[in-house]
Chains A and B, each alone.
Chain A
Amino acid sequence: MARWQTLEKEAPEIAEKGRALIYQFGTGLGYLATLRPDGGLRLHPFCPVVTAGGIYARVIDSPKRRDLLARRSFAFHAFAPEDRDDEFMLTGTANLVEDPQVIETVAEAFHAAGATSSGDELTFEFDIDRALLALYKPRAEEGPHWPPEYHKWRAAS
């Protein structure tokens, strides 16, 4: 498992284009898959925050938060751009952040990006096991559009 800053150092194109996909609409956006108590899957949109060398989420009390606290395993996928099907996916483990300074830094970055807050969130950092970036031709261009150009990275074990 590795922090976002390790991805930036070891696979800068994946990190740079991944970050651009996360923030393409201003506020960070993506989908977060978590594991329910029965091992099934849960999937919801959320607002990731990339700051201070990490990728974070601020999560209100919800089934998704209980999944992250109890089972921790996650998959993240950024929204696709308007004109092509580019993909950015991360998998790994979520860790509850307890350092008040980090929590404050994440909250500041969260609000600076335009996200709103109810004030009772917990902050999680996502430790990354694998990253996948898939770059497609624009839909307006002549096909074939599949397969895309894949870029993969895996954290050193």
Chain B
Amino acid sequence: MARSFVSASWDDLRGAQPELAAAGERLLSPNGSGVAFLATTRKDGGPRLHPVMPILADGRLHVFVVTMSYKHRDLLRDGRYALHAALPEGGGEEFFVTGPALATADPGRRAGVTAASGGRLGHNEFEALFELRLDRVLHARWAKWGTAEAWPTFSKWNAPG
């Protein structure tokens, strides 16, 4: 059973912090082709970490997760996740979100997410759809990336509530 959280949709982030949302959309490439890393919580409370392909559809961030996987069981049991965008070429930026992942069985939503992935994802029954709700969002821009003087500037947003 997923825990209860204060959380927001991607559209809520766009409304509150459009520049932060735009940075996320640029770095996540959320059309089913960009790779990001998803951390979930194992049964023993420790973290687990795997790549996923996020998809933005209808103002919400989603992932398909294979039902035979441990991360699927993690998300159904605990729901908490952290997602980090792959580093852009040359580095210098990070984009990171946390929140609860909510299993989504609505066929209309699923069809919309599959369409938003360019038809690449969501055709198989073993692909379970989750909405990644947001409670914290962080974007870091690093000055002097790759040097000993590297220093980040952070933009952050927490879901209201």
Contacts and interface: CB of A to CB of B under 8 A. Distances in A.
Interface of A: 31, 33-35, 39-45, 73-77, 79-80, 85, 87, 89, 91, 116-119, 146
A101 to B, nearest CB: 23
B84 to A, nearest CB: 4
B143 interface: no
A75 B94 contact: no
B47 A77 contact: no
Contacts of A45: 84, 87, 94
Interface string B29-47: 0000001010111100111
B96 A44 contact: yes
A79 B39 CA distance: 14
Interface stretch (B9-17, B103-111, B144-152): B144-152
Contacts of B42: 91
Interface of B: 35, 37, 39-42, 45-51, 66, 80-84, 86-87, 94, 96, 98, 146-148, 150
B62 to A, nearest CB: 18
A80 B34 CA distance: 12
B50 A73 contact: no
Nearest to B81: A41
A39 B98 contact: no
Contacts of A31: 37, 49, 84
Nearest to B39: A33
A35 B40 CA distance: 10
Contact of A85 (B35, B49, B94, B150): B35
Contacts of B35: 80, 85
B80 A91 contact: no
Contact of B47 (A74, A79, A80, A146): A74
A146 B45 CA distance: 28
A93 B84 CA distance: 21
Given A40-B98, A75-B39, A89 B49 contact: yes
